[in-house]
């Protein structure tokens, strides 16, 4: 992972943070910031890439733009996430915490346990991430979401 040869899923990274007793943001921060973090006009320039699936570590369809990078005392991790459409199986994953998703562009499908929700532009969903879940772009088009993740440590 350190050399960029393996792209972890967010679930894997969350489990690693939990095992190490640190918050998820510890892996994402560049420089410590004690005051507020301001992101102007859209998204930050640095992108993080995670695999959307735990069993795929060499490709990604998710581009994360952290809106809180550097804030060392945060309890939530806000992201703008660009999601490329991807065909294939949707393997559910789970981790401790909660997720709030707001769709900015396009449409996503969220599989949550045995239920499936289609969330369009302007819609949101808030769920416990301990329940197995997966989200992906639908309609063969890319989507953009605001995701706020809470992961206890």
Q: What is the mean pLDDT of the chain?
A: 78
| Least confident window among 6-10, 11-15, 84-88 | 6-10
Quote the pTM value: 0.71
**According to the model, what pLDDT value does residue 3 have?**
66
Q: Span 68-79, mean pLDDT?
A: 79
Name which residue leads in pLDDT, 97 or 7.
Answer: 97
- pLDDT digit string (tens) for 31-50? 565 667 777 776 555 666 55
Burial of 142 (C-beta count, 10 Å sphere; 0-12/13-18/19+): middle
Burial of 33 (C-beta count, 10 Å sphere; 0-12/13-18/19+): middle
């Amino acid at each position: 992972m350190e050399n960029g040869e393996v792209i972890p899923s967010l679930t894997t990274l969350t489990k690693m943070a939990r095992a190490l007793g640190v918050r998820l943001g510890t892996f994402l921060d560049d420089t410590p910031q004690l005051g507020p973090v301001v992101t102007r006009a859209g998204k930050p320039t640095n992108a993080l890439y995670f695999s959307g699936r735990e069993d795929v570590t060499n490709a990604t369809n998710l581009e994360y733009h952290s809106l809180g990078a550097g804030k060392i005392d945060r309890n939530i991790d806000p992201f703008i996430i660009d999601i490329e459409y991807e065909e294939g199986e949707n393997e559910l994953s789970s981790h401790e915490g909660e997720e709030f998703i707001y769709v900015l562009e396009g449409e996503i499908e969220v599989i949550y346990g045995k239920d499936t929700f289609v969330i369009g532009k302007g819609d949101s969903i808030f769920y416990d991430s301990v329940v197995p879940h997966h989200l992906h772009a639908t309609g063969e088009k890319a989507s953009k979401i605001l995701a706020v993740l809470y992961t206890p440590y």
